[in-house]
Amino acid sequence: MRGEEDGSVFRARLDLSKKIESLSKVGPDSFVRVLKAVEKEIKIFGKVVLSSSEFLAIMFLFNSRTHAEVVSGAFRILQGVEMTEEQVSLLFDWKRTEQSGGESYWHVNWTFLDKEIGTKQKTVKFMVEISEKYPAFVWDALHTLFLLLDDENVRVRAKSYAGLVKISKGWWKRWGPAEKKTYRKNMEYFGCNSVEIVRKESKRLEKKQKEAKIQITAISKNFIRVHVRLGREIRGESTRIEVKGAALETLRGQRKHTFLYCRATPSVVCTVYHTETPVATREALFEETEKG
């Protein structure tokens, strides 16, 4: 019986390996389907250590198919598996050291950081996880975040700063004087004013993720439109949108943008609750609203 279980596990792992290695070869139409299958099977296994050929297939994704969805998929796989120290070090091989056999795809083509904003944000999250999961590479992760701290996009800068703060807080007591000095020097490189600006941007973005905005607009004599915009951190089953007008309407706030249309009444009140606590409310008198 035990032998049958071991054989079943072996076959399942072999099948997973084939799927991972096929990611670098499948067409665009099949890529997402295979990627989701790989992610699902990795979760089922719980702990998966990548072989050299599997790691090579994922590196290929970074180098040849740098669309945001592809890069994000590669990061998600790496987040779900166990990498060897050699594999992690190759992720940060900025000098592209030649490996035996001349396998150029052992290296990440970091030029994808010049493209999609979503890819950069995924990179920030991955760097924070690298610092927690592989302590030997915390400074490699920090150097990548320092690079992104100077990005042209405010969201990328803010998230990079938040990542730097999170990592440094976790490591500060473990660092000696030399490491603390290195970290301060890297921060000082950007200048006090620049760091302060990014810090404020990060705080503003963090606050925005927990906010709800409500807009009520008359679209005709008889109908109004309620537009609710939810920050990322308050979207989900625990958020409720309530509109009181001619009737009471309630729904869960699971999307970034929610539109409700209802009959006009002298007064319309919209309230957003997160874990049953009001986070935003707005009342509009029908006569005072602008017609869209």
pLDDT of residue 231: 92
Asked if the model's pLDDT at residue 107 lies above 60, the reply is yes
* Mean pLDDT, range 67-91, rounded to an integer: 87
Start-to-end CA distance of the chain, whole Å, equals 70
**Given this model, what pLDDT does residue 247 score?**
75
Of residues 156, 143, 259, 270, the one with CA closest to residue 202: 156
Range in 31-45, 86-100, 170-184 with the lowest mean pLDDT? 86-100
pLDDT for res 179 = 94
pLDDT of residue 101: 45
Dihedral angle, C-alpha 110, 112, 118, 121, nearest 10 °:
10
Higher pLDDT, 72 or 163: 163
Across residues 9-32, what is the average pLDDT?
A: 87
- Give the residue among 29, 21, 93, 34 at the shortest CA–CA distance from 60: 21
Query: Got the DSSP string for 66-95?
Result: --HHHHHHHHHHHHHSBPPHHHHHHHT-TT
Query: By percentage, how much of the chain surpasses pLDDT 70?
Result: 89
Percent of the chain beyond pLDDT 90? 37
pLDDT exceeds cutoff 80 at 192: no
| pLDDT value of position 6 | 63
CB contact at 8 A, 94 and 132: no
The per-residue pLDDT for range 151-169, each reduced to its tens digit, is 888 889 999 999 999 999 9
> CA torsion angle for 280, 285, 291, 292 (degrees, to 10)?
20
Sorted by sequence, the CB contacts under 8 Å of residue 69 that are 6+ apart come out as 32
- pLDDT of residue 138 exceeding 90, the answer is yes
Specify the pLDDT at position 65. Answer: 61
Q: Among 41-50, 98-107, 113-122, 233-242, where is mean pLDDT lowest?
A: 98-107
Contacts 24+ apart (CB under 8 A), 78-86: 78/126, 79/126, 79/129, 80/39, 80/42, 80/43, 80/48, 81/42, 81/48, 81/49, 81/50, 82/47, 82/48, 82/49, 82/50, 83/49, 83/50, 83/55, 83/134, 84/49, 84/50, 85/134, 85/136
pLDDT (average), residues 4-17 = 79
In this prediction, residue 213 carries a pLDDT of 94
Burial 229-268 (b: 16+ CB within 10 A, else e): bbbeebbeeebbbebbbeeeeeeebeeeebebebebeeeb
Query: What is the pLDDT, as a whole number, of residue 188?
Result: 85
Q: Does position 25 have pLDDT exceeding 60, yes or no?
A: yes
